[in-house]
Structure 1
Amino acid sequence: MDMKTALFLTYQTARSAHYAGQQLTLPFLDRLATGRKRPLPEDFEAKRLQTLNALFDLLKEDSTRISAGVYPWEVLKPEGPGTHWGRFARILMDGWRISHRKEKKDAHDFDDEARVYLEEVPEYYRRNFHFQTGGYLTRQSARLYEHQVEILFAGGADAMRRLILPLMREKWPGDGEGLHFLEVAAGTGRLSRFVKLAYPKARVTVTDLSWPYLQEARSRLADLDRVEFMQAAAENLPFKDATYDAVYSCFLFHELPHAVRRQVVREGMRLLRPGGLYGLVDSLQKNDGEEFQWALEQFPTEFHEPFFKNYTSHPMEKLLEDAGLQGARCQRGFLAKGLVAEKP
C-alpha cells in the first residue's frame, strides 16, 4: 500500500471508529427510553467481526480509488466540529422519540409540519421509515438524516454511496464537460456532491419527492455550480425524453413497492439519451451471495422498512434488463452495491 492510500485509509478508519462510538450510545438510550434491553442477535460477536472486516475492506478500496484519482480527496472533507456535535446532540434527543415509536410499532406518527405534505405524496411514502421523527417530511429530519445513516453503518455510508463512481468513470473518465446527470430521490444530495466533485464540469439536476429534503439539498450543495433542483417523484418526472446522460439514485429502491420500482426504472430509461447510463446504489440483495443473508433478514425487523423483504428477493439486475437496459455492471462493498446499465 502506498503512503497516500495509507493516509486516506487511516483517516477513514478513524472516522469509522468515531461513528461506531456514537452508534454504541444508542442501545443505552433505547434502554432508558423503553425500560428494557433488546436481545442481541444470535452469534452476535461473529457477525460483528464479519461486518467490521467487510467495512474495513470497503474503506480500503475507497481509499485506493481516491489515491488513484478515480475521485478527488475532497470527498473526505469533514464538516466543522461544532456543527457535527450539535447535530449529534439533536440525534440523541430524537433517539428517545424513535425508541418509543419503535416500541409501539408506530410508523405513522407525524407532527403538524409533516402533515402539511402528507396529501402531496403517495401512500407508500406516508410513514416513518426507520421510525424516524417526521418520516421524510420535515426539515429537522432532513438535517439529521445523513448523520443518522453514518451512525447506522459505522461511518461506511459515504463510501457505499461512492460505489457507483468507478462504474461511471469507466464510461466517462474526464471532467464531465458537456454531460448532464439526473439524481432521483436525492434526499439531501450527498451522492450528487460526490458526483460533482468527480465531474466538476457536468450539469446535475437534483430531484426529490420531499420538499423539506430538497431544500436541505439546495442548502448543502450551494457551493457547487451547474446544479439545479426540482421537486418530483422518481416514478413521474417532469422532463423531456432523452434529456440525460446518466440517471442515478442512492438507497431508493428498497423503500419502494415492487410495482413502483418498475415504474421508476422505466421512467429513467425514458429520460436517458442513447448510450446513457442508468445507475443506482442500494442494499445488497439475496442474489449477491450468502455472506450477509442474516443482515438482510434482520434489517427490516429492526427498522420500519415494509418493502425491504420484497426488494431483496427481486434482483435489480433483472429489473434493469426488463426495462431494456443492457450490460449491467456491479460493484459491491460492505452492505451495498453500485449498479449501472446502458441504454442501447
Structure 2
Amino acid sequence: MQSTPNLDQFIPEELTRIAYQGFQESKKAFGFLHKQISDRLTNTIVPEQATKSKPLSPEVFEKLQVRLKSLEEKDWQDAQNGVYPSSLLFDNPWSDFFRYYPELCLDMVKIWDRLQKKEFQKFDNAIDRTGYPDYYLQNFHYQTDGYLSDMSANLYDLQVEILFNGAADAMRRRILAPLKQGLQAFASLPPQQIKVLDIACGTGRTLRMIRGTLPQVALFGTDLSPAYLRKANQVLSEIPGELPQLLQTNAESLPYQDNYFHGLTSVFLFHELPASARQAVINEAFRVLQPGGVLAICDSIQATDSPDFQEMMNNFPSIFHEPYYRHYTTDSLEERLRQAGFINLQVENHFVSKYWTAYKPVV
C-alpha cells in the first residue's frame, strides 16, 4: 500500500544520495527566499515585531547548520538501512506548496493585524468553537483561525517546512525507527492485526510516513480539528487502497478500549499543551497501549538539551504565538512518562527536535 515504488530497486545509491541532497537544498532555498520577503515586509509594516527577537549569532547559526547536516545524514542512513524506503525522502507535497503559497503571503496581512492589536484568540464568526478546551482556542503561530479552518490546514505543512528550513519531514521520520523496532515485540501477529495510532495527527504527514514504512499495519489517527482531519483524509486517500481511520477527539480522553494499540506516535503536540493536559495525554496513551507496546514522541528541544540555543528558544514564543512553550522547555516529559507507568525510556535529540521512546510494561 505504499504510495510510490522503492527507489532503491531502480536507482544506484550514489545517484539517490545526490538527488536527496539537491532535494533538501531546494527546500532550504525556498524557505530562505520566503524569509527574505517576509522579513522585509514585516519590518516595513510592523517594525515593532522585529525588536522582539535578536538575530542568531554566527556561532549559533553555524551550530544549527552542523546539526541540520547531521539530521539529513541520519535521514539518509535510515533509508539506506531499510528502516523506510528511499521514496519517502522525496515525498513532498510540492503541488500543495505552490498552490497555497500565494494564500500564505496574503494571510500575512491578517497576521500583522493581529500582531498590532494583540489578538491571539481571534476566529472567523462562522467557525463553531463549542466543545473545545480553552487552551486550544489560540491563534498558534498567529495563524488565521488557529487550527479550525480549512485554510489553516492547507497552509500548515508549507508553514512548518519554511519554519524548519526544509527539515520538518526529516524530523518527523526520526520516530519511524523506534516505532518499527518497538513493534517487533508483536512480530508473531499477522501485520494487518497490528494497530498504530498517531495522536494529534494533524494533516496526516506522519501517518503517510508510517504507511510507507509499515505497509500492512492498521493505521489510526485522532485530532481535535475537523479541518485538519479533512486534510489528513485527502493526504492519505492519495495512497492506493488506503482507508484512513480518523477520528475527531481530545487526546486527553481517547475513545478506545484499554490495551487496544500496539504502537503510538505523537509529533509536535506537547509544546502546545498546558502542563495538566500533557500529563492527561500521556496517561491516556498508557491506558490504550498494549503491554509491551511502544510510544514514540517527537517535539521541540528543551532548555537542558542545548544551552547554546537557549536564546533561540526564548525568542520562539515571542516571534510565534506559543503560550505554553516556555513551560514546556523546562518540563520533564521523562518524569511524566514514568509517572504514567512507562518504562525503558530512551531520549534523543536531532536538529531542533527531541524524541522520547517508552514502553508499557508486560504484565
**What TM-score do you get using the length of structure 2 for normalisation?**
0.88
- 1:138-157 matches, within 5 Å, as 138-157=149-168
**1:37 to 1:313, Cα distance in 2 relative to 1, 3 A:** closer
Moved more, 334-343 or 14-23: 14-23
1:300 aligns with 2:300: no
- Report the CA distance between 1:296 and its aligned residue: 1.6
1:102 aligns with 2:115: yes
Query: Per the alignment, in what secondary structure is the counterpart of residue 288 of structure 1?
Result: coil
1:253 to 248, 270, 274: 270
Aligned residues: 341
- 1:187-202 matches, within 5 Å, as 187-202=202-217
Moved more, 75-84 or 102-111: 75-84
1:62 to 58, 75, 87: 75
Deviations 1:133-175 (Å, cap 9, x if unpaired)? Answer: 0000111100001110111111111111111112123234689
**1:95 to 1:185, Cα distance in 2 relative to 1, 3 A:** same
Gaps of at least 5 residues in structure 1 are none
Query: Per the alignment, in what secondary structure is the counterpart of residue 211 of structure 2?
Result: helix
Deviations 1:259-307 (Å, cap 9, x if unpaired)? Answer: 1100000001000000001221100112323232222211111111111
**What TM-score do you get using the length of structure 1 for normalisation?**
0.93
Query: Per the alignment, in what secondary structure is the counterpart of residue 329 of structure 1?
Result: strand
1:330 to 318, 330, 347: 347
Q: Distance between the aligned counterparts of 2:61 and 2:116, measured in 1?
A: 24
Corresponding residue for 2:35?
Answer: 23
User: What is the percentage of aligned positions where both structures have the same residue?
Assistant: 32
2:268–2:298 Cα contact (<8 Å) kept: yes
- Report the CA distance between 1:177 and its aligned residue: 4.3
**1:172 to 1:20, Cα distance in 2 relative to 1, 3 A:** farther
Q: Distance between the aligned counterparts of 2:308 and 2:293, measured in 1?
A: 32
Corresponding residue for 2:9?
Answer: none
Moved more, 76-85 or 264-273: 76-85
1:281 aligns with 2:293: no
- 1:94-133 matches, within 5 Å, as 94-114=107-127, 116=128, 118-133=129-144
Query: Per the alignment, in what secondary structure is the counterpart of residue 222 of structure 2?
Result: strand
2:49–2:319 Cα contact (<8 Å) kept: no
Q: Distance between the aligned counterparts of 2:81 and 2:20, measured in 1?
A: 11
Output the amino acid matched with 2:111.
I
Deviations 1:26-50 (Å, cap 9, x if unpaired)? Answer: 1122134325671461553333332
Q: Distance between the aligned counterparts of 2:349 and 2:120, measured in 1?
A: 31
Gaps of at least 5 residues in structure 2 are 1-12
Query: Per the alignment, in what secondary structure is the counterpart of residue 31 of structure 1?
Result: helix
**1:204 to 1:311, Cα distance in 2 relative to 1, 3 A:** same
Q: Distance between the aligned counterparts of 1:251 and 1:302, measured in 2?
A: 18
1:239 to 256, 275, 286: 256
- Report the CA distance between 1:316 and its aligned residue: 1.3
1:272 aligns with 2:289: yes
Q: Distance between the aligned counterparts of 1:68 and 1:29, measured in 2?
A: 44
